Amino acid sequence: AAGTARGVALAAAAATAVALAVAAWRRARPVREVLFFPSRPCCIEALLAEAAEPGAPARPCPCPLPSGDTALSRLVRRLLSARRSLDLCLFSFSCPQLARAVQLLHRRGVRVRLVTDAQYMGLHGSQIGRLRHAGIQVRHDQHSGYMHHKFAIVDRRMLITGSLNWTTQAIQSNRENVLVVEDAEYVKAFQDEFERIWEEYNPANYRFF
Amino acid sequence: AAGTARGVALAAAAATAVALAVAAWRRARPVREVLFFPSRPCCIEALLAEAAEPGAPARPCPCPLPSGDTALSRLVRRLLSARRSLDLCLFSFSCPQLARAVQLLHRRGVRVRLVTDAQYMGLHGSQIGRLRHAGIQVRHDQHSGYMHHKFAIVDRRMLITGSLNWTTQAIQSNRENVLVVEDAEYVKAFQDEFERIWEEYNPANYRFF
């Protein structure tokens, strides 16, 4: 009996060690993900609730949408993983769900900066005004050319970039791609581009003709 | 004198060996490049001429543009490196310079396939008609949503993707990004997406309402 008990304990310890090793390997392995859209419609209320109040008991959402694993839910998860900073460089931002995720991060103390296009920020449904009202720093171009990037950088560590504008139309109806990469070289190139644009679009530099 | 001659020969042999090793390392290292736009205006005639007739004596172009190293010239170089296939998945294609590069590859025997957006292919300045006339296979969506990808795959080996539509406006006036990656995992994901779309947009599947 003692031998059996020792065997069970040993097996349990071995299983724990393997689980810990797998978890460590998962944590250490840099993210490399490709998301294709259109995304199946899905409910992200549970994701937002968990991010707003980690560990709080889940309240079922009354909406009829499934809350499964979709391109949109994966994108939201990546954004909500931000702990310190979120730099957004977005041509068009009108998706209310993504705006709620960004506001939530801002409320949680994440430093959010947003660069956008002057001609698109005022269009119907744009979330830029709402984000500014919430206290998020927004800068925009002053050119006739478009600020056409569509990328985000999470914690100066993870780059999210592709063809996807942050609009409900794009998410639900278009063929689109998004790359999620934790790669120091790519992140640095995009972070440098963000800082260049952030400085160039500083309102102190506006010219009034 | 014999000793000096042997020394010189040895040094020359060593230099050659180092040069060959560096060249081999350069060839073996997968491409990882980030291009940011707008690109300085530049002349790509020399690049196109060299690709059309490798080794032919260079004829200076009479245009006043510099032919330096720009984001556009780098993009063209990557495209012109195609030897077997070029798969294009482009929302909007109106840049004449890029259309000439694609036509040149087609004439050289590279298998070019192009997927585009039905609503944008007929706009003023679109190069799609010209490419079809040249004999290049083109397919387009039949949906109200956009085929909004902007990627190319060279020789099923190199992925070129980003925010850039292939228009002169985007190249010369917009803030845009393009990633060039030789990475089997990313290439496979995009190649699979291309094949899915290529089949879905097969004219045999069109529905007429």
Say whether A177 and B197 touch across the interface (CB within 8 A).
no
Using pLDDT thresholds of 50, 70 and 90, give the confidence band for residue B208.
low
Claim to verify: residue B37 and residue B73 sit in the same structural domain: yes
Instruction: Mark out chain A residues that contact chain B at CB-CB < 8 A.
Output: 32, 34, 36, 38, 91, 141, 143-151, 161-164, 169-170, 172-177, 179, 185-186, 189-190, 193, 197
Q: Which amino acid is at B23?
A: A
| Complex prediction ipTM | 0.86
Nearest by CB: A149 against B150, B172, B175: B175
Claim to verify: residue A10 and residue A72 sit in the same structural domain: no
> What gap in Å lies between CA A69 and CA A76, rounded to an integer?
11
Claim to verify: residue B57 and residue B120 sit in the same structural domain: yes
- On whether the CB atoms of residues B39 and B68 are closer than 8 A, the answer is no
- Chain B hits for A141, CB-CB cut-off 8 Å, are 175
Claim to verify: residue A11 and residue A114 sit in the same structural domain: no
Using pLDDT thresholds of 50, 70 and 90, give the confidence band for residue B209.
low
- Among residues A203, A9, A193, the alpha carbon closest in space to that of B35 is found at A193
Q: Are strands A137-140 and B150-154 parallel, antiparallel or unpaired?
A: unpaired
What lies within 8 Å, CB to CB, of A62 at 6+ separation is none
- CA-based torsion, A58, A63, A66, A71: positive or negative: negative
Structural domain for A26, as ranges = 1-30
Claim to verify: residue A75 and residue A11 sit in the same structural domain: no
Q: Which of A60-64, B42-46, B149-153 has the lowest mean pLDDT?
A: A60-64
Which helix (H) or strand (E) is B138 found in, with range? strand B137-140
Claim to verify: residue A181 and residue A170 sit in the same structural domain: yes
Q: Residue A67: is its pLDDT beyond 90?
A: no
A13 or B155, greater pLDDT:
B155
Instruction: Report pLDDT for B122.
Output: 81
Say whether B146 and A173 touch across the interface (CB within 8 A).
yes
Residue A49: helix, strand or coil by DSSP? Answer: helix
The residues facing A160 across adjacent strands are: A152, A180
Using pLDDT thresholds of 50, 70 and 90, give the confidence band for residue A2.
confident
Count of CB atoms situated within 10 Å of the CB of B6: 10
- Chain B hits for A189, CB-CB cut-off 8 Å, are 34, 36
Measured N-to-C along each axis, helices B96-107 and B45-52 cross at an angle, to the nearest 10 degrees, of: 10
Claim to verify: residue A94 and residue A130 sit in the same structural domain: yes
- Chain A hits for B38, CB-CB cut-off 8 Å, are 145
Angle at A65 between CA A64 and CA A67, to 5 degrees: 130
Count of CB atoms situated within 10 Å of the CB of A185: 9
Claim to verify: residue A63 and residue A100 sit in the same structural domain: yes
Claim to verify: residue B57 and residue B160 sit in the same structural domain: yes
Tokens 């063929």, residue? A175
Q: Give me the CATH number covering residue B121.
A: 3.30.870.10
> What gap in Å lies between CA B164 and CA B149, rounded to an integer?
9
Claim to verify: residue B18 and residue B107 sit in the same structural domain: no
Total number of domains in chain A: 2
Claim to verify: residue B74 and residue B147 sit in the same structural domain: yes
